[in-house]
Amino acid sequence: MADSALVQDLRAAGLSVDTSESALSRATADASQLKSRPICVARPQSTAEIAAAVRTCRTHSVPLTVVGGYTGLSGGALGYNAVRLELRDMDAFSVGPDHVWAQAGASVPAIIRDTSERGVFFPFQPASACRTDDVYDYLGTTVGPVTIGGALGANASGLVGCKLGAALDWVRELTVVLPDGKTQIITDGFERYVGTEGRYGIVAEARIALPELPEETDTFLLSGHGLGAFAEVAATLGRSGVLPLLAEGMVLTGAPPDFAAIARRALDDPTGFIRQFGSVFEPHGWIVLLQGDENDTTTSIEALRSAGCQVDVRPLNDDQFEQFRQIRSAASDAIGVGVVNPHRTSSGKPPVERASAFLAHAIAEFQERGVRPKAEHNLGLLRVFLESDEDRDSFRAAVEEGSAFDDGSLALYEECEGNLATLLNRLLKPRVTPAMVEQQIAVNFPGNEDLLIQAEKVPETLELLENLMLQYGACPVPLFYCHINFRRTPGWILVHNRLLIDVTEFA
């Protein structure tokens, strides 16, 4: 087929543009499970080429989205009927004594490795960046590695978010390509570009400060059973006033009886590390990883002991800690494998309709209880469906006046007549392959990810979530990563949950 005028003009502007079937199908999905095929994939080699691509798309009135590693969980990079700007060739970075300079396509795992070899610490480490190549191969995934641009677009945090916050806390300078194609160096007001998924500007380069950290840290793994005990531990850690470098819990709730076996098989745990913590894979088993200097960890553990918390405390050596980090990352993918939904026939409606009804119901209940979604705009393509008319109108006005990028989501909203279930049928159902149905690999409901909950409200909120899941016939196997004291807000917990949609229902 002849190249379109758009593709010809992008090439004339100096860009490398790929319209091959393999490039288009690779660029069709991120880790969110949504599928949206791009018009073409362009790979700029410089900031000037990003700007040229932006201007060309604008001239042709064609939507455009920018993408780094495709590890985003909400379809933010996908857009609809859009050009995909892949920045992975812009991967240069350098490490100074107190900062890192990087192009947007630089690999976050490579920067973490480089900084740690120099004895300094990179301040945001999303779990997706802890994966090794082996784990990617094992999962058969083509996403990754996480890039600096994607981490800024999503305001990433992760294992050390407890003490160090998120990407926004560490940005000192950005070079941004704006929707009108102009390039600007930004030294304040970073929140317009960090955590807004590339809607208002494409990050081309960034300077990121490095934190000063204690030379010696200790790591402990706390474990226990029951949501009440978990909430008590979380609230006590919050009250202790200490912000350990790392405090992260994992709770499994409502897991079917065979889940432990499934998880162990899926995680391929040759050293039996997980088996030491048997309770973790029982319903409502949990672990909390605690890391910090001796003073912080001692204060935290003493606070737990004097509050009478029911918790098992074990020190971890460096190898065990590394193993934990990898398990933590792999667990989020293994979680849907082999899940048979016992509630499958509880409603005659198709799964996506139930899932979207569940989401609307859950959001209303959460609002009533003061449970807040994570502050960032991390709903990607779904966001425009979940926004109010007012928000949609102001986004539309920003696109029209040229201060926001058109990512195609407003057109998609109109095509689907604002119906979330129609959208999910269109973008989620194509993800389900016969092999997935055979292996019963559940699909995560995208966008229903992060909730901020007060520690003492954790049991009632999780119970509510579980009841809603049963009511709507969802798979009752959400996994929760809880960042205690997350982002310096004492007593609050950030819960990442996975709402699993049973793929056998799509068959």
Ligand X SMILES: Cc1cc2nc3c(=O)[nH]c(=O)nc-3n(C[C@H](O)[C@H](O)[C@H](O)COP(=O)(O)OP(=O)(O)OC[C@H]3O[C@@H](n4cnc5c(N)ncnc54)[C@H](O)[C@@H]3O)c2cc1C
Residues that bind ligand X (CB under 6 A): 30-31, 65-73, 76-77, 87, 104, 126-128, 146-147, 149-151, 153-154, 156-158, 197-198, 202-203, 329, 332-333, 380
Return d(Cα 334, Cα 263) in angstroms, integer. 7
Residue 98, judged by CB atoms within 10 A of its CB (0-12, 13-18, 19+), counts as: exposed
Q: What is the DSSP-derived secondary structure letter of residue 168? A: G
Q: Rounded to the nearest whole angstrom, what is the least distance from the CB of residue 50 to ligand X in the complex? A: 8
Q: Rounded to the nearest whole angstrom, what is the least distance from the CB of residue 439 to ligand X in the complex? A: 19
Q: Rounded to the nearest whole angstrom, what is the least distance from the CB of residue 349 to ligand X in the complex? A: 28
- Contact in structure between 411 and 82 (CB atoms under 8 Å): no
Q: Rounded to the nearest whole angstrom, what is the least distance from the CB of residue 153 to ligand X in the complex? A: 2
Q: Which residue is nearest to ligand X (CB)?
A: 150
Give whichever of 69 and 351 is closer to ligand X, judged by the CB atom: 69
Give whichever of 128 and 497 is closer to ligand X, judged by the CB atom: 128
Helix (H, G, I), strand (E, B) or coil at 93: strand
Give whichever of 249 and 473 is closer to ligand X, judged by the CB atom: 249
Radius of gyration of the chain (CA): 22
Q: Rounded to the nearest whole angstrom, what is the least distance from the CB of residue 445 to ligand X in the complex? A: 14
Give whichever of 56 and 332 is closer to ligand X, judged by the CB atom: 332
Give whichever of 8 and 25 is closer to ligand X, judged by the CB atom: 25
Identity of residue 201: G
Q: Rounded to the nearest whole angstrom, what is the least distance from the CB of residue 306 to ligand X in the complex? A: 31
**Parallel/antiparallel/unpaired status of strands 218-225 and 285-292:** antiparallel
Q: 318: Cβ–Cβ under 8 A, 6 or more apart, which residues? A: none
Name which of 163, 189, 166 is nearest 178 in CA terms: 189
- Contact in structure between 53 and 15 (CB atoms under 8 Å): yes
Give whichever of 174 and 311 is closer to ligand X, judged by the CB atom: 174
- Contact in structure between 186 and 176 (CB atoms under 8 Å): yes
Q: Rounded to the nearest whole angstrom, what is the least distance from the CB of residue 451 to ligand X in the complex? A: 14
Half-sphere exposure of 504 (CA within 13 A, CB side): 16
Give whichever of 56 and 74 is closer to ligand X, judged by the CB atom: 74
Return d(Cα 369, Cα 347) in angstroms, integer. 27
Q: Rounded to the nearest whole angstrom, what is the least distance from the CB of residue 143 to ligand X in the complex? A: 7
Buried b (16+ CB within 10 A) or exposed e, 198-221: bbebbbbbbbbebbebeeebbbbb
Q: What is the DSSP-derived secondary structure letter of residue 77? A: T
Q: What is the DSSP-derived secondary structure letter of residue 340? A: -
> Which single residue is written with the structure tokens 């509510």?
464
Name which of 208, 210, 201 is nearest 106 in CA terms: 208
Give whichever of 133 and 302 is closer to ligand X, judged by the CB atom: 133
Q: Rounded to the nearest whole angstrom, what is the least distance from the CB of residue 165 to ligand X in the complex? A: 11
- Contact in structure between 31 and 72 (CB atoms under 8 Å): yes
Q: Rounded to the nearest whole angstrom, what is the least distance from the CB of residue 68 to ligand X in the complex? A: 3
Give whichever of 128 and 240 is closer to ligand X, judged by the CB atom: 128
Q: Rounded to the nearest whole angstrom, what is the least distance from the CB of residue 236 to ligand X in the complex? A: 24
Give whichever of 107 and 300 is closer to ligand X, judged by the CB atom: 107
Q: What is the DSSP-derived secondary structure letter of residue 3? A: P
Q: What is the DSSP-derived secondary structure letter of residue 475? A: B
User: Please, what sign has the CA dihedral across residues 272, 275, 280, 283?
Assistant: positive
Buried b (16+ CB within 10 A) or exposed e, 46-61: ebebbbbbbbbbbebe
Give whichever of 42 and 309 is closer to ligand X, judged by the CB atom: 42
